[in-house]
A and B are shown apart, each in its own frame.
Chain A
Amino acid sequence: MIDNGLPEGWELVVGLEVHVELATKTKLFSGSPNRFGDEPNTNIDPVTLGLPGALPVLNQHAVELAMRIGLALNCTVKPSTFHRKNYFYPDLSKAYQITQYDEPLNVDGFLMLPGGVRIGVERAHMEEDTGKSTHFGGAGGRIHGSDYSLIDFNRAGVPLVEIVSHPDVRTAEQARQYVNELRAILVAVGASDAKMEEGSMRCDANVSVRKYGAELGTRCEIKNVNSVRSLGKAIEYEARRQIDVLETGGTIRQETRHWDETDGRTHTLRAKVDANDYRYFLEPDLVMLAPDAEWVERVRAALPVLPAARRTNLAILTGADEDSEAIAVVVERGQDTYIEEVKNSGGDAGRALVWVQQSFAEEGNAPRLPAKDLAALTVLERDGKLTATQAKTVLGDMLEAGGGDPAAIAASKGFEALDTSVIEGFVNEGIAAQPDAWAKYCAGEEKAMGALVGTIMKLSKGKADGKVVTAILQQRRNG
């Protein structure tokens, strides 16, 4: 039984709905720019504003990006239609949202979490975003009770894909993994920048609990989750809330709940009985979207290697654990091909992984440092010509200069790996200086080694290789 952090016997069941903004140049149904952060109401046109007589025309690039998402999530691309979802709200300019309803573009896929858990993807459909309202005065930033509201239509009509998972998620950690993995895939295929903090990726969670083996419980939809961390916290809170209700003889009401980051709770937003009747019907201003097989195959063939496969490849290349932090971080930054280049330039991939993880956070997927230079550095290190500490200093200089010969930089700094006989000398001095520590170490107290190594490094002015020092100390104790 999986550890879900819940009281004994309770199973957590979560389905996730993730909205992502597509990285198109223009909007889903008009030629206005799709750009975040511009002056309000500058990226608008008759279609965006829903002016009388304006008509939508589907953005082909948005369709292509939506297909990339579907195919990367192992979905089937199908002939699909658009519907109107009707409701009144000031930032919904036409008073209906154009969205895919019963015939979505992508269906029946799945996503593998790192570690091998399979989460089914029910659908990934296209829709348009709404404008953004800001309410002034009154309480709680809601329109009711506010003094006035301002609307920015720059976001209206921005293309979205909504990815709906099956309720296959069983722990808060899996939910976090799902969103992280999904984000990595979206970025990898170039469909979205998928930034939760900027709102280009938004996540709602359908949470329910049940006793193992029981029927599915009533679910609540949790909205306003603005980070992966909050997602986990919101799910954990909501599951415990539901269990508390059920264990005290209550029942769960199907409702939409709002996650409040400040008090760490979810609050009722609206009950299902108050839900809008959206009066969906086929959008008569658009025709069926049926990408032909040739187009689908072209998009599929052009898909890049996806993060999971890249992690496997990098793990094989570097000898690191596939589920390690280093592999995950480097692949997410898109620096795995760089490590491949280092290896191809004769470098040590394992050491390169360490350096890239530690020092390349700002570098992006095309680091300025030529791969051959990092390769040269890892070779010096592997051959014992430089200690790890020295290598780090040299790398700092190389990154700053955008390249350089590590051997020359090391020489200019007087970094010469000390001969073992010289190090032996420092070890002798160190033991003499720390007799108590040496005694403790010999008595089996491993912690005592730290003080010894520190003293010896100090004596060598940092030029001794810490690994060599450790090895000598171990040798002496055992021998």
Chain B
Amino acid sequence: MSNFSTATSIAHNVASGAQSAVSVVEEHLQRIGQREEEVHAFNLVTSAEARERAADLDARIARGENVGLLAGVPIALKDNMCTRGVPTTCSSKILEGWKPPYNATVVDKLFAAGAVFVGKTNLDEFAMGSSTENSAFGPTRNPLDTSRVPGGSSGGSAAAVAAGFAAVSLGSDTGGSIRQPAALCGVVGVKPTYGLVSRYGLVAFASSLDQIGPFSHSVADAALLTEVIAGHDPMDSTSIPKPAPSLVSVLGRGVEGMRIGRVADLPEGADADVLARLDAAFIALEKAGATIVDVKLPSLSYALTAYYLIAPAEASSNLARYDGVRYGNRVAANDMNNMYADTRAAGFGDEVKRRIMLGTYALSAGYYDAYYGKALKVRRLISNDFAAAYANADVILTPTSPTVAFPFGAKTDDPLTMYLCDIFTIPTNLAGHPAMSVPFGTGQANMPVGVQILAPTLGEEAMFKVAAVLESAA
């Protein structure tokens, strides 16, 4: 764990009056001032609003008010979550300058809990990528080694926490976009069960896979933040009609008697340094009283292919609305079709265009059954495999990323190489399950390695128990 203050301690100190929200914010803004130019975690830093908000919180606390579980906690938001009156770009030129007239549900919840927003973080355009190199506004750098990527697509949110710009942040995870950058930046990252956190106000990439989740320095912070943002939202039809789970209270209960799954047929591709840390994690859990069991997930090797049909198919539909008609950038042309074409050609980057074309093709008449239809079948097979595995295991441990953070440009020439970054994270999204990445030591070049904990639907409790044990053993 880094030496930055956790959200848990900040909230405690601010609420008790031991520390002012203003001083906390200033401390973080100062670090932003020192390193943001180099790291480029943010598309927008909202310092004035943050200062005003912190002063307001301090005044309310002075009056004896309870301002919430995240009193004075500086938080950064991935720039694909809608914030009323504040630009939300998805790191795309096509949305440059657009200000949403409404807040995402998570934003309202964080605000109600007393959090202080410090800015909107950089991402791969429309969350499509694994390195933040696909941002239209330039890449984010890994704060631990600025010659390397922070991962992606939520690279800005991971870097903001790793650099101490914010105590915690939110990202979105469609195929690993929280967990992979968390692993590469040495922080905790959680993708909750699909439907646990409202997607209302999250700009959609692939609606059946997208899920919002936290980045933090500690497992306890991640549990706290998940509790705050989770729970049923009537504005999201896919939101699970249950209250938020209690997660902070399960930390420290240990893993005695738990069954930890080891994937016997894990797809190849992980580096030796990463696999070594995974082995060390199994040993640590066994020492803590858990049993290691072998599980098989035979359809896992098809997950990447299925994902790269399903996610682009949904994206091709979700991104069709960026047509220059109602908002965002428009390139004027002599007729409607040319206006559409020119606007979209100028507004989208290469990776977004690649996925729109891929998805359009996969859904087209005559190809649907062979591509999209087959991918849906694979998705069912993966769910079935997981169901069988979870009959024998409470959670499953895998690497988060096959490698540690890689240098800029290392994977930009061949999209398929980049896609392989998500080989271990994608199956979770296809199944709708929760998973999280916990830092567990370092690998090559002294860069952090993350271990991924997978759990069945609404298995967050078990997942967090294991995470807490790994955190203390790391």
Contacts and interface: CB of A to CB of B under 8 A. Distances in A.
Q: Do A and B bind each other?
A: yes
B95 A52 contact: yes
A51 B322 CA distance: 9
A286 B100 contact: no
Q: Which of A53, A144, A286 has the most CB of B within 10 A?
A: A53
Contacts of B81: 53
B102 A46 contact: yes
Nearest to B363: A279
A55 B336 contact: no
A88 B356 CA distance: 14
Nearest to A47: B235
B460 interface: no
A94 B360 CA distance: 16
A50 interface: yes
Given A279-B363, A281-B313, A86 B320 contact: yes
B211 to A, nearest CB: 12
A84 B320 CA distance: 12
Given A144-B336, A281-B363, A57 B317 contact: no
Interface stretch (B3-11, B196-204, B276-284): B196-204
Interface in A85-111: 86, 88, 90, 93-96
A42 B154 CA distance: 37
B238 A287 contact: yes
B368 to A, nearest CB: 8
B336 to A, nearest CB: 6
Q: Which of A52, A54, A277, A284 has the most CB of B within 10 A?
A: A52
A88 B340 contact: yes
A81 to B, nearest CB: 12
B336 A52 contact: no
Nearest to B335: A144
Given A50-B321, A86-B320, A93-B326, A55 B200 contact: yes
A33 interface: no
B contact residues, range: 35 or more
B299 interface: no
Contacts of B336: 90, 143-144
A46 B101 contact: yes
Interface in A330-386: none
B430 to A, nearest CB: 13
A456 to B, nearest CB: 75
Contact of B237 (A54, A58, A86, A93): A58
A287 B336 CA distance: 34
A217 B168 CA distance: 67
Contacts of A287: 237-238
Contact of A285 (B100, B207, B327): B207
- Chain B interface mostly: loop
B342 to A, nearest CB: 13
A49 interface: yes
A56 interface: yes
A28 to B, nearest CB: 12
B320 A53 contact: no
Given A285-B238, A287-B237, A53 B317 contact: no
B237 A55 contact: yes
Contacts of A53: 81-82, 88, 100, 104, 199-204
Contacts of B320: 86, 88, 94-96
Contacts of B98: 52
Contact of A96 (B237, B317, B325): B317
A151 B363 CA distance: 29
A459 B64 CA distance: 99
B208 interface: yes
Given A88-B340, A284-B208, A49 B235 contact: no
Given A52-B82, A285-B207, A279 B360 contact: yes
B360 A95 contact: no
Nearest to A90: B325
B125 interface: no
Q: Which of B235, B321, B368 has the most CB of A within 10 A?
A: B321
B364 interface: yes
Contacts of B202: 53
Interface in B298-335: 313-314, 316-317, 320-321, 323, 325-327, 335
A359 to B, nearest CB: 51
Contacts of B101: 46, 51
A62 to B, nearest CB: 14
A96 B319 CA distance: 10
A55 B200 CA distance: 6
A90 B330 CA distance: 13
Interface in A244-279: 277, 279
Contacts of A279: 316-317, 360, 363-365, 368
Contacts of B323: 88, 90, 95
Contacts of B363: 86, 279-281
A224 to B, nearest CB: 21
7 contacts: A52-B90, A54-B201, A86-B316, A88-B323, A90-B323, A279-B316, A285-B237
Given A86-B317, A96-B320, A285-B237, 6 more contacts: A53-B201, A90-B325, A95-B321, A95-B323, A281-B314, A285-B207
Closest 5 CB pairs of A and B: A95-B320, A284-B208, A279-B363, A284-B207, A52-B203
Interface of A: 46, 49-58, 84, 86, 88, 90, 93-96, 143-144, 151, 277, 279-281, 284-287
Interface of B: 81-82, 88, 90, 95, 98, 100-102, 104, 199-204, 206-208, 234-238, 313-314, 316-317, 320-321, 323, 325-327, 335-336, 340, 360, 363-365, 368, 372
